[in-house]
Amino acid sequence: MAIFRTNIHSEALGMQTQLVVYLPHDEPGKRALGKPSSLILLHGLMGNAESWTRRTNLEKIAETYHVAIFMPEAARSFYHNVNPGLNYFTYIAKELPQYITNTFQVKSGRENMMIAGLSMGGYGAIRSMLLESSTFSKVGAFSGMYHMENYLNRYKSDTTQETIRRARSDLQAIFGKNFESVECGNLHRIFSDYENKSNLPKLYLSCGIEDMLLPESREFHQILLQHDFPHIYEELEGNHEWNFWANSLSRMLKHFLG
């Protein structure tokens, strides 16, 4: 297993940015398996590029499923392009997949490129699926957020949780002081308006039955059912926590890769 903690220059961001990479085939006994497929794995609102490596058994997961894992840095951007000029969506959904293909010994093409994430990262993965469907073949969201206006309305009266207060400020930076552009964060609508849904990637969703974001997952699951969109949806024991997300990642890769 080769593990890289590096900084790369992003044209979309106009700066150096951290990237953590797990390559499972960089050992004599593993090379016979050939090049691995690729997974861009996204962090949550309070995380960074190191979060998955610090909090999960990611090395074992990468080896078990023979997948190269790439973990970018996205700050608290909700994987949007944030003014002035911090184009995190462009970097992660467009620039990074091309960088991976050009730089690393991995399988190329849409069929071998996956994206997944937890919480804010789940939102980012689904948004990437809908706006860059030709790039990814498989997508996963664990404890995801899917409809920003619903999220804001649900928690607008909650002044006790620091995480929610900070998230409101983050979303104001993205959608405007009065959230005038919040409709572009409505993944329900973007999915419903998507003309040829048969072209969308395979999809895995999960949420813990004790997670405060469970209503978000159930709502998006129902939207998918209404449109007869094939997907895997699981409600499992757990909360908004790392054991749940590591288990979900393993389950997703097992579903997709066997």
The reported pLDDT for the residue numbered 209 is 98
pTM of the full predicted structure? 0.95
The reported pLDDT for the residue numbered 156 is 67
Question: For 45-99, how does the pLDDT look when each residue is reduced to its tens digit (9 = 90+)?
Answer: 999 999 999 999 999 999 999 999 999 999 999 999 987 779 999 999 999 999 9
Question: For 170-214, how does the pLDDT look when each residue is reduced to its tens digit (9 = 90+)?
Answer: 888 899 988 899 999 999 999 999 999 999 999 999 999 999 999
Residue 173's φ and ψ, nearest 5 degrees, are -65, -30
Band (pLDDT 50/70/90 cuts) for residue 255 is very high
Burial 48-85 (b: 16+ CB within 10 A, else e): bbebbbeebebeebbbebbbbbbbbbbbbbbbbebeee
Question: For 119-139, how does the pLDDT look when each residue is reduced to its tens digit (9 = 90+)?
Answer: 999 999 999 999 999 999 999
Question: For 160-171, how does the pLDDT look when each residue is reduced to its tens digit (9 = 90+)?
Answer: 778 777 888 888
Band (pLDDT 50/70/90 cuts) for residue 240 is very high
Q: In whole angstroms, give the CA distance from residue 121 to residue 149.
A: 17
The reported pLDDT for the residue numbered 172 is 87
CATH number 3.40.640.10 is the correct assignment for the domain at 2-257: no
